[in-house]
Amino acid sequence: MGVNFFFCLSSFLITFLLLKEYDKTGTISIKGFYIRRMLRIWPLYYLIIIGGLVILPLLKNYLPLPPERANPFYYIFFLYNFEPVVRGLDGVSNIGFVWSIAIEEQFYLVWPVIMLFINIRRKYLIFFTIIAISLVFRIIYRSDYIILTYHTLSVFSDMGIGGLIAWLAIRKPNLVMKFDRKSIILGFYVTGLVLFMLRPVILAHPLINIYERLLYSFIFCFFIIEQNFYKNSFYKIGNFRKTSELGKVTYGLYMYHMFPVVFIHALFLRYLDGFTQQHLFFSFLIQMLVALSMVIVIANLSYNLFEKRFLQMKDKYSFFVSKSNTGAEVVRQSSQPIK
């Protein structure tokens, strides 16, 4: 579900920014978009790939890891989500979580081109077409768990819905704001909680499972709209400063998380196996809390010592919108971000 939300949020943000850029400049800098995404994604991605394919195998005698069977080709060209489809779960890697990054890169490859060359007045048809294609694909492969989970066409509905909500937020703001009522907001949160609790039942039912991603994607996108635009929210996550500060390192949290999890688990197996056998739940809880603390530290160090170097290069290709002294929006591409 975290990946489901991640796809929706990414599509919403990217689509929102591309539409804003088009509105203000009359075009979309595809080159600038690709360079920004490369500088943000590629350095840490390939660092993790090297760690997973080169360093982890050297530690196999000390860490509880299965042998690495993945084909490096899938990693290098952001196609890893297709390896489970082709080889089954036997091909799943120790760093198999990068399948979601592969789908993101495939999305980034085509999305700005679609946004630029499809008629601006009919852009909403793009989103419905993507959702429909993904839904038909899920109907055809409704009994194949691996394809439903990993195939690009199976999960692209998340991007379609995220993009649709972004389009509505810009093109139909009055329609979006009609739902800014406490009763409606509460209803969506209750619905989201119920769907979360019923997820095991939903996944077990082959027919309902077809529409599962659509259900959660619309709930997630409503939360995104509510948190960013509504005035009647019961709370705003952005008000929790310490939590919000983690936003800049969430990519690192995701990419590094497996390493401390495996390391802490190995320590418990070697030195606290008796405690784990007697207190399985508490052992698991302690391991996760310690691993979480470690990965927060690692992600912050990575951001400040490694990733920030590339992000500073990314600034000169960025699209900035600021307010002038008259209150009008000013758009420019600059080597320095507007404060």
* 95, two tokens: 């760093």
pLDDT of residue 270: 82
Which whole number is the average pLDDT over 273-296?
91
Q: Among residues of the chain, what percentage have pLDDT more than 70? A: 91
pLDDT bucket at 160, cuts 50 / 70 / 90: very high
pLDDT bucket at 243, cuts 50 / 70 / 90: confident
Give the residue from 279, 197, 241, 222 showing the smallest Cα distance to 12: 222
pLDDT bucket at 91, cuts 50 / 70 / 90: low
Separation of alpha carbons 164 and 15, rounded Å: 9
**Residue-range domain boundaries for the chain:** 1-179, 235-318
Query: 88: left (phi > 0), else alpha (psi -120 to 50), else beta?
Result: left
Helix (H) or strand (E) holding 117: helix 99-117
Q: 3-state class of 322 per DSSP?
A: strand
pTM: predicted TM-score of the whole model, two decimal places: 0.86
Q: How far is CA 240 from CA 78, 223, 230, in A?
A: 35, 16, 17
Separation of alpha carbons 149 and 82, rounded Å: 10
Give the list of residues 6+ apart from residue 186 with CB closer than 8 angstroms, or none.
234
pLDDT digits (tens, 9 = 90+) for 195-233: 888 888 877 777 788 888 898 999 999 999 999 999 999
